Amino acid sequence: MLPVTNKFLQNQFNNPQPIKLRDFKLEPLDPKHLGIYHQIYSSPETVRYQRVNRCTNKTQSLDQLKSRLARRDQAKASYYIVYHHNKPVGGFSINRINYSQRHFSIGFGILKKYWGRGLATKLVTRFTAWAYQNVKPSVIKANTMKGNLASQQVLQRAGFSRYYTRRKGAEIRGKRHDVYYYRLPKT
């Protein structure tokens, strides 16, 4: 019999369902989200520290969206549009899934017009509490680039601790960046 984590995560790839977190809703990424997806990933501020390229038109956004859906279909990651009080405010992902050790990583990006309101911290805090109660992973991980102070603060406020630095561990638009790795063990 598969652990709860496997059943949940596999279901999120085979038949993705929304995740309700009080005033947040994570809706599985779908081609119908092209407009909001383009808003998120055409923003230079939102993608500055992400490994995806900025989309300069809706054709690029659609191609990138389809690529993410293909990763979900291969059971490698699951992507969501984040709604707060029914307004789309950003994106969220569950990725780097290790079924045997029961852990995964999360990623998040909030539209610039919603920065400074604590939404990312609330989102990450609520998701991790929900995941530990419902999915039961051994640990939840995340990573961010050295220069991404806002995401580092979000993770720290949500209870994550930094456990590793990979020097020049990621290439983003031709430049190498240090990557900080975080984890939130089950308490």
- 132-182 pLDDT, tens per residue? 988 888 999 999 999 899 999 999 999 999 999 999 988 877 888 899 999
Mean pLDDT calculated for residue range 11-34? 88
pLDDT of 9 above 70: no
What are the tens digits of pLDDT across the range 76-105? 788 999 999 999 999 999 988 887 788 899
Cα–Cα dist 34/124, whole Å: 24
Distances (CA, A) of 152 to 24, 76, 100, 132: 21, 24, 28, 21
Mean pLDDT calculated for residue range 19-38? 94
pLDDT of 2 above 60: no
pLDDT of 42 above 70: yes
DSSP 15: S
pTM, two decimals, is 0.88
Q: In what order do the strands lie in the sheet with 19-21?
A: 19-21, 24-28, 77-84, 87-98, 103-110, 139-145, 175-185, 161-172
Cα–Cα dist 134/115, whole Å: 29
- SS3 string of 65-110? HHHHHHHHHCCCEEEEEEEECCEEEEEEEEEEEECCCCEEEEEEEE
In order of their start, the domains of the chain are 4-138 (3.40.630.30)
pLDDT reported for residue 92: 95
pLDDT reported for residue 76: 76
